[in-house]
Structure 1
Amino acid sequence: MFSIAIFLLSVCSTIRANSWDSNNVFLSNLQRKLIDLEHRLQVQERINRDQEVVIKRLILENDILKNVGMTKTDISVDMKKQNESEGFIHSSANKNTTGEKNTGQNMHLSYSKSDLKISRKHFSLGNCCQKLLFHFKNDKPIRKSVTGGVAFYSYLSHDEDSLGHHQTIIFDNVITNVGGNYNRHTGTFFCPMDGVYTFSWTLYCSSGGYFTSEIVVNSNAVGAMFCSAQGATNIRHTTGVVVVEINQGDVVYIRTHPNNGLSGPLRSHSTYRSSFTGWKHF
């Protein structure tokens, strides 16, 4: 009887232990999901703030462009009136003082080239327009974007010594950003339109170091790579490439793996760059 009681107690303890382990696993998974959700919300908030800034800038630039267009129109009207007052007559069938049609070209100048004199007002009007356009371009530069084109290239400007798990790698130095969809403050690429894209990232680890990185679309890892310099006497690097079909509004970024082991810093130097790049195919 005593043996049966001990056996029952042992079974109950085992059940409680298994239940406790299951609860721990469930809570651990839940906590990991909450952390990932919080990270996604932070990224989305940063993207929303950046978009608000872009919208305000576009509204301001649109108002400035309207003012510039109106100024150019006024200048063109003034130049036309000045031309007419100085004898520049444009007509398809002008008649002379005797009532006969001119035998020259349909559109002609009433003055000959030898008699043509351009007043200072023409030059002042032209210079005014030119200065206005240059002044606008210098004070409010407008990014010229390729129609339908999307491409960016950025790299890490410094070593990342305190590399941790589930960490977004922010490539802060932007060289190319056609379309302006890569954010150097958050390290994220905001997809402007549906299509097929190629992304590539290159990471360097120091001697003896190693880590795993992932490329993430929203919260889903679509590619990963392992960089290792274990047993090496110098730095090592690895490059990952993915071709993915993504949708407008998707966010793409590089992060370290949530669970895999890592050791040592992420390296980036003037002679070797840890970088992130991407472009749209079609």
Structure 2
Amino acid sequence: MKISVIFPLLLLVCSGCTDQNKQIAKQQPFPQDINALLREMTATLTQQKFEMRLLQRENKEHAAKLEQQETELKKQETEVDKLKQQLKVGQVAFSASLLATGSGHVGPFPKQTTLIFKHVPTNIGKAYNPHTGIFTAPVRGAYHFEWYIGTHGGAQASGAVLVKNSEHIFIAWEHQPSHYGSSANGVTLLLEVGDVVFLRLWVNTKVFDNSNHHTTFSGHLLFTM
């Protein structure tokens, strides 16, 4: 009688254990499922890393292209500025007469004296300085200069020499014992940037000017070199 009662109880316990094991088995994945999930996650992560590196490389290439374009643009802007500057300094011409107002003689002086031409109707490029009488070459090139001197008769002659830096180039000379006389000269010079050109009144000579502007100094750039 005792044996027959215990046996059904054992069956019931075993049955309960089996159901519980089935539920645990359902809740916990098998090792092969975990490996598959890990493989899938690893593959996804690898793909994401690859795409990220690809985007980074594309961004770097894009940034490099942008930087190169900016560099080229700056170079072009620099070249344009240079061309504008060359065009600007390539426009050089001036004309000036000796006296700004009134009339009279300048000189004579015991030594050569720089003539300052104060009436300046034209000074393109601002290379001529009306305060000093000196023309300064803004660009290397060939320049042409002309000067005219006027005088009234008298004991003193009239002479004006064109000077390049400290070198005497050509002179205009006139000695008119009576009445009015004039003289002129011209020259073409190769000048470097910064070279100066001006006129000096010759020793013990004089020049005349009035509102008709008889005594003048002019120059212009022929072409750059």
Partner SS state of residue 224, structure 1: strand
TM-score (norm 2): 0.55
Q: Deviations over 1:178-220 (max 9, x none)?
A: 1001000100001101110100011111112413221001100
* Matching of residue 211 in structure 1 with residue 158 in structure 2: yes
**Is the radius of gyration larger for structure 1 or structure 2?**
2
* Matching of residue 151 in structure 1 with residue 96 in structure 2: no
Report the equivalent of 1:226. Answer: 173
- Matched to 1:245, the amino acid is L
- Matched to 1:152, the amino acid is F
Offset of residue 237 of structure 1: 0.7
Report the equivalent of 2:218. Answer: 277
Report the equivalent of 2:117. Answer: 171
1:188-199 equivalence runs, <5 A: 188-199=134-145
Q: Displaced runs of 4+ in structure 1, greater than 3 A?
A: none
Residues 161/193 of structure 1: CA separation in 2 closer, same or farther (3 Å cut): closer
- Number of aligned residue pairs: give it: 132
Q: Distance in 2 between matches of 1:274 and 1:266?
A: 7
Task: State the structure with bigger RCO (CA 8 A, min sep 6), 1 or 2.
Answer: 2
TM-score (norm 1): 0.44
8 A Cα contact 1:151 1:179, kept in partner: yes
What stretches of structure 1 of length at least 5 have no aligned partner?
A: 1-144
What stretches of structure 2 of length at least 5 have no aligned partner?
A: 1-86
* Matching of residue 255 in structure 1 with residue 197 in structure 2: no
Report the equivalent of 2:183. Answer: 238
Partner SS state of residue 180, structure 1: coil
How big is the alpha-carbon RMSD for the aligned residues of Structure 1 and Structure 2?
A: 1.8
8 A Cα contact 1:206 1:229, kept in partner: yes
Quick check: which one's strand share is greater? 2
Partner SS state of residue 237, structure 1: strand
Offset of residue 227 of structure 1: 1.5
